[in-house]
Amino acid sequence: MTSIARLKIERRDASGAIALATFEVPYEPGQSVLDGLRWIRVNRDPTLAFRYSCLNANACKECMMEVDGEVVYACLARMEPREMQLAPLHNKPLVRDLVTEIAPPPERLNPKKR
């Protein structure tokens, strides 16, 4: 019997209201939260937005999010066979789903200045 992790993900609907989407993910010891998110996008919901850019362990900082209210790197946080709540960083502007704006303002692309 395979264990299950339930990832409850904070998303916003078209009106901006928060909606929680729950996904059951096959669990194996050692899996990261990022592994679970990638499984969801491939097998359940290709529209789920999250950011990662794995070049070297703990080097990119792109996969930061809140897991059970704690700010973590999704690539380092271990998934567990229980319900886990995932949310975007609450102190950053929301782009979509678990994606927040992390680049400092001077480094952001500004199409008006082209």
Sorted by where each begins, the domain ranges of the chain are 3-113
Of 65, 80, 69, 71, residue with least CA distance to 7:
80
Position 114 scores a pLDDT of 46
Question: What pTM, to 2 d.p., does this model score?
Answer: 0.84
pLDDT digits 0-9 by tens, 10-45: 998 767 788 999 999 999 999 999 999 999 999 999
CATH architecture of 3-113: Roll (3.10)
Convert the pLDDT of each residue in 71-113 to its tens digit.
999 999 999 999 999 999 999 888 899 998 876 666 555 656 5
Name the amino acid, one letter, at 14.
Answer: A
What pLDDT, on the 0 to 100 scale, is given for residue 12?
A: 82
Pairwise CA distance, residues 36 & 78, whole Å? 10
